[in-house]
Amino acid sequence: MELSASVSIQHTDSGLEYINVNSPLCTAKVFLQGAQLCEFTPTGKSPLIWVSAEEDYQEGKPVRGGIPICWPWFGVHEKADWPIHGVARKLLWRAEEVNEFSDHIVVRLSLPMRLVDKRYWPYDSKLEVEFRFSEQLEVRLTNTNLGEEAFTLSQALHTYFPTSAIENTTVDGLQGATYIEFGKGPFLQDKVVGFERETDMVYTQANTIQTIQTPEGSIEVTRENSSSCVLWNPWIEKSKRLSYFRDDEYHTMLCLEAANVLDDIACVESGQSHTLATVIRWL
C-alpha cells in the first residue's frame, strides 16, 4: 500500500529547482543543486532542519543550512586554492528515483561525474545520495569505485539543527571520544557538551548515537560507517563574518555532522562501495 503523498519539482523565486515532498508522514525539500536537503518536518512535530533567515537560494552558492554534502574532502584542503568542503555542494545533481512505500518515501540523486573537475577527483567512481522520509529522516551517501585502483576521501553530511536557545542546548553521547579544536588536541571528551563560546570540535572514536537536548525536545542522531563527527556553532564574533547568516543566528542553530575525517577517512577498493549514513529523529 502506497502513501497518499505529493512529490513534485518546484522552483524558488531565484529559479533553483527542488524536490518537494508532502506526505501524511512529513514534509521535505531537496534541492538538485548540491543534493542539499533544506527542510524536513515530521507531521505534528517541529522542524528537524535549520536554514538561515538570510538565505536567498542563489545558483552556484551552497545554502546556509540544511544538510550540505561535503565531498570529496571536508574542511580546508591542503591546497589552499581548492574550494572548502569539496565540490559537490555547488554542482547540479540528477534526480534518479522517487518511490513511495507504505511507511516511507525514497528520493535518490546522483552526481554526474562529468561535472567534477579532474583536478579535484581523477577517479572513476559513482556518487549517490538517498533520502528516506518517514517520521524520521535517513540520509545515505554512497561512493562506488568503478576503477581499478583504490581511492580515499573525507566527507561529511553537514547537518544544521534548530534550537530556540543554544545556551540551553546540550549534546550527550560524545563522552569517551577524543577531539581536535582550532588545531589543538587531541582532548578527551569527559562530559555532556554545552555551548558558551565558539565551538568547532572534530571528534574521532565517537559513539554512533548522540542526543541533542533542546528546549523543544530531544533529537537523536545516529551514524553508520562513521566513527567521526563534527560539532559546530560559530558563536558571536564569527557569526558577524559569515555570509548569509544573521549576527544573532548562532543562538538558534548548531551543527552535528556525520563524517569520515582524520583517521576515519573512507578507503574504497576497486569494485566496492562505501556508504556514510545518518538517521535523525525527535525522541
Confidence (pLDDT) at 5: 76
> Is the backbone of residue 54 left (phi > 0), alpha (psi -120 to 50) or beta?
alpha
Q: Which of 128, 130, 257, 274 is catalytic?
A: 257
Q: pTM for the full model?
A: 0.96
Burial class of 135 by CB neighbour count within 10 A (0 to 12, 13 to 18, 19+): middle
Distances (CA, A) of 9 to 15, 19, 206: 12, 5, 38
| Nearest of 64, 70, 78, 107 to residue 249 by alpha carbon | 64
Question: For the residues of 114-149, what is the DSSP string, one character each?
Answer: GGS-TTT--S-EEEEEEEEESSSEEEEEEEEE-SSS
* Residue whose entry in the numeric block shows the C-alpha cell 533544506: 38
Q: Is residue 171 part of a domain?
A: yes
* Residue whose entry in the numeric block shows the C-alpha cell 505534528: 44
Distances (CA, A) of 263 to 17, 109, 184: 36, 28, 16
Q: Is residue 230 part of a domain?
A: yes
Confidence (pLDDT) at 4: 74
Confidence (pLDDT) at 2: 59
Q: Is residue 236 part of a domain?
A: yes
Distances (CA, A) of 194 to 172, 197, 213: 9, 9, 10
**CATH number, domain at 98?**
2.70.98.10
Q: Is residue 274 part of a domain?
A: yes
Number of domains the chain is built from: 1
Burial class of 269 by CB neighbour count within 10 A (0 to 12, 13 to 18, 19+): exposed
Cα-flanking dihedrals φ and ψ of residue 235, to 5°? 60, -155
Q: Which domain holds residue 44?
A: 6-282
Q: Is residue 1 part of a domain?
A: no
Question: For the residues of 253-265, what is the DSSP string, one character each?
Answer: EEEEEEEE-GGG-
Beta-sheet pairing, 36-42 with 69-70: unpaired
> Is the backbone of residue 223 left (phi > 0), alpha (psi -120 to 50) or beta?
beta
DSSP character at residue 103: S
End-to-end Cα, the chain, rounded Å? 27
Q: How many CB atoms lie within 10 A of CB 131?
A: 23
Q: Is residue 248 part of a domain?
A: yes
Residue-wise pLDDT tens for the chain (283 aa)? 456 778 999 999 999 999 999 999 999 999 999 999 999 999 999 999 999 999 999 999 989 999 999 999 999 898 989 999 999 999 999 999 999 988 999 999 999 999 999 999 999 999 999 999 999 999 999 999 999 999 999 999 999 999 999 999 999 999 999 999 999 999 999 999 999 999 999 999 999 999 999 999 999 999 999 999 999 999 999 999 999 999 999 999 999 999 999 999 999 999 999 999 999 999 9
Pairwise CA distance, residues 140 & 41, whole Å: 18
Annotation marks residue 257 as catalytic: yes
Q: Is residue 227 part of a domain?
A: yes
CA dihedral 197, 202, 135, 61 (to 10 degrees): 80
Q: Which of 158, 249, 251, 274 is catalytic?
A: 158
Bridge partners of 268, per DSSP, are 151
Annotation marks residue 158 as catalytic: yes
Q: Is residue 200 part of a domain?
A: yes
